[in-house]
Amino acid sequence: QVQLVQSGAEVKKPGASVRVSCKASGYAFTSHYMHWGRQAPGQGLEWMGMINPNGGRPIYAQKFQGRVTVTRDTSTSTVYMEMSSLRSEDTAVYYCARGFSGYDYRDPFDYWGQGTLVTVSS
């Protein structure tokens, strides 16, 4: 069965960086886009960016350009999201989510990771 398993909760100080991992299993890793999004406490979903595990340049939300980097390791079927210059407003649950296919940006997200809480506090 398809599974996306994310790394554990993180506590970071303002100005630090964080890297969250998302290990995929149960399907052909390079056949589906992978997206990252987040949800601040009590707030809605916010899309951050995506990567084609089969290669190609990641696409980022304009808000996160220059501060977020999404990478993938095909040998371990893992996608990473790294965010730098953290501030308190970045406190949120971060999710990875699989795109329905690996060729259509319009696709829905059919599987989600369990979420990773990142807390930014001095």
112 binding other proteins? (CB under 8 A):
yes
| Residue 71 token pair | 């990478």
Residue of the chain from 12, 91, 115, 119 that contacts other proteins (CB under 8 A): 115
Distances (CA, A) of 9 to 2, 13, 24, 65, 79: 22, 14, 18, 24, 16
Q: Which of 49, 16, 42, 38 is nearest to 117 (CA)?
A: 38
CA distance 47 to 102: 18
With CB under 8 A as the rule, give the number of residues binding other proteins: 23
CA distance 110 to 90: 25
- What minimum distance in Å lies between the beta carbon of 14 and other proteins? 26
Residue of the chain from 46, 69, 91, 102 that contacts other proteins (CB under 8 A): 46
Q: Which is nearer to other proteins, 16 or 27 (CB)?
A: 27
Residue of the chain from 29, 79, 113, 118 that contacts other proteins (CB under 8 A): 113
59 binding other proteins? (CB under 8 A):
yes
DSSP state of 87: -
108 binding other proteins? (CB under 8 A):
yes
Residue whose structure tokens are 């990567």: 51
Contact residues toward other proteins (CB under 8 A) are 35, 37, 44-47, 50, 59, 61-62, 95, 97, 100, 105-110, 112-115
